Amino acid sequence: VSVDFVEFFNRIIDRFELSKSQDVTFVRDLPGEAVWVSLDEDKITQVLDNIISNAMKYSPEGGTITFAVHIEETANQILVSISDQGVGIPKADLSKVFDRFYRVDKARTRMLGGTGLGLAIAKEMINAHNGDIWASSQEGKGTKIFFTLPITQEEQKDDWS
């Protein structure tokens, strides 16, 4: 199904913003117009839920989480990023966090709970949508998760009224 990604993403961010108990500030850097992406809403909701929960889980009190969507015209895709100001991920672990059951620093992450499957599932789902997913991070400064999704056409509605 063709979905306006800006509206879809806003709805997910709203849900987190309304239910959060933590002192984190959300910043949205989103296009002012609709961007059509063909996606399975349940699956991409699951992807975003995990990335945003991770950002919250590893964010300090008073931190900022920034949500961005950029339109890449030439590649005909959107670049989505979610950045936090949390503990970060060491360089050596950066590519491994997308592996099943991989968790950085067992002691630290055991306290915070989780199975280490979230990002592996996210990678599977983004790849199934013909997108890529990766991370950049600086230890002690924060983490940024990026993914791309192809842009499609707005679906023609079979509605003549």
What residue ranges bind ligand ATP (CB under 6 A)?
Answer: 50, 54-55, 58, 84, 86-89, 97, 102-104, 109, 114-120, 143
- Count of other CB atoms within 10 angstroms of residue 133: 20
- Which residue is at the shortest CB distance from Mg ion? 118
Find residue 151's DSSP bridge partners.
Answer: 37
CB of 151 to ligand ATP, least distance (A): 26
For Mg ion, which residue of 86, 118, 131, 142 counts as binding (CB under 5 A)?
118
User: Which of the listed partners (Mg ion, ligand ATP, none) does 80 bind, with a CB threshold of 5 to 8 Å by partner kind?
Assistant: none
Nearer to ligand ATP, 38 or 57 (CB): 57
d(CA 88, CA 47): 19
User: From residue 78, how far is each of 17, 73, 89, 148, 160 by CA, in Å?
Assistant: 23, 8, 25, 5, 31
Categorise residue 62: left if φ over 0, alpha if ψ from -120 to 50, beta otherwise. left
Stretch of residues binding Mg ion (CB under 5 A), selected from 14-22, 50-58, 122-130, 147-155: 50-58
What is the contact surface with Mg ion in residues (CB under 5 A)?
Answer: 50, 54, 118
